[in-house]
Amino acid sequence: MLYPRLKLVRNLLSDDGIIFISIDDHEVVDLSHLCNEIFGEDNFVERFIWKSGRTSASTFTREHEYILAYAKDIAQLPPVVYKGEDSLVSDRAIKRVSVKNPASEITFPAGIRFLGENKTFPPVFGDKEVVEVTAGVFECKNGSLAREVTLKAGWTMKNQIENWLSGNDTFDSKGQQVVEFFFKPNGVLQYVKKRGIEHPRTIITGFTTKQGSQEVKALLGSSVFDYPKPTGLIEHLMKITGSEDIILDFFAGSGSTGHAVLKQNKKDGGRRQFILVQLPEPVSKHAGATAYCAQESIPELISSISLKRIKKAIAEEDKTQGVRFFRLEPTKL
């Protein structure tokens, strides 16, 4: 069943397309040989290890699966990079005063963004990271610093703060651009910087099948699939591709891929489209799946539940989107 599908997918892929295939350790070797035959060894991109969560076994407890990546034509594949979980990252700009990080003064002009409600801070505040007001009053109104104030603290990047306050382009020690400095509700100075382009790591963590089960249950109100892929994993892989690509999943199963496309489009404004393919496979003897089909008056098929999931995801993520359902009939030839 897999060989003809992979053969067809290779023909359907754009010249700069890429395919990701998840597989367990029992079949990864055979699948690698099959993909080498269909796509060519030169078009092998990477073998990822996905820490999917614990699976009970009589000998060892397996905690991972593999994801093979192959290109249609690796020479035309764009650079395999992404911008991490978010293109922006934020962190605090002060830390505890020490010999290596002595306290110093910086004068902040009125207008610096403040995330809390109207507040006037005392002359000295903070627990581990102590801040002292040495000139003026640290007063914030209507979401910004109300007046000029001089603060003394253990700044983590004093030169960058002063450079940014002077209106200059500012970069941290890694060469990543600092976009803004602002005050949190507790008065701590925070900064936002653009995350640099990263190469995806071969070990993927943070996305488990338990999360996938929780997502489905939260959306449908019932546990209907065993070990569904978490949408976070699919989103992670999609970030390697373009924001207007067509995503094809020819083993649609629980519908995680379609759900992930909707979520990622909402996050980054992308215009991705998805095509899900699923055989008219009956639901397993999973009591939750059978009960859900009866409750919703739908056929006891995996595709019926997946379609329900996608429709509910559209209602939750982006009501302007839609989905079309097609059924292939046997040929009369």
- Residue spans per domain, the chain: 1-79, 88-194, 206-325
Classify residue 80 as exposed, middle or buried by CB count within 10 Å of its CB (0-12, 13-18, 19+): middle
Residue with tokens 């905690």: 63
In the prediction, which pLDDT does 296 show? 92
Residue 95 has pLDDT above 90, yes or no: no
Bigger pLDDT: 54 vs 286: 286
Arithmetic mean of pLDDT, 207-233: 91
CA–chain centroid gap for 48, Å, is 16
Please say whether the beta carbons of 88 and 193 come within 8 A. yes
pTM score of the predicted model: 0.66
Among the listed ranges 21-30, 84-93, 149-158, which one has the minimum average pLDDT value? Answer: 84-93
- The rounded mean pLDDT for the chain is 89
Arithmetic mean of pLDDT, 231-260: 91
Residue 54: which pLDDT band, with cuts at 50, 70 and 90? low
Residue 85 has pLDDT above 60, yes or no: no
Print burial letters for 245-275: b (CB count within 10 Å at least 16), e (below 16): bebbbbebbbbbbbbbbbbbbeeeebebebe
Can you name the residues that pair with 139 across neighbouring β-strands? 120
Among the listed ranges 84-93, 108-117, 310-319, which one has the minimum average pLDDT value? Answer: 84-93
Residue 101 has pLDDT above 90, yes or no: no
In the prediction, which pLDDT does 198 show? 64
In the prediction, which pLDDT does 295 show? 93
Going 236 to 239 to 241 to 245, the CA torsion angle's sign is positive
In the prediction, which pLDDT does 259 show? 95
Residue 148: which pLDDT band, with cuts at 50, 70 and 90? very high
Arithmetic mean of pLDDT, 234-263: 91
Arithmetic mean of pLDDT, 310-331: 87
Between the CA of residue 201 and those of 47, 92, 233, 238, 264, what are the distances in Å?
A: 10, 26, 13, 14, 20
Q: How far apart are CA 289 and CA 294, in angstroms?
A: 9
Residue 86 has pLDDT above 60, yes or no: no
Q: How far apart are CA 49 and CA 202, in angstroms?
A: 6
In the prediction, which pLDDT does 53 show? 82
Residue 57 has pLDDT above 70, yes or no: no
Arithmetic mean of pLDDT, 297-308: 94
Q: What is the DSSP secondary structure assignment for residue 57, as one 8-state letter? A: -
Arithmetic mean of pLDDT, 190-201: 77
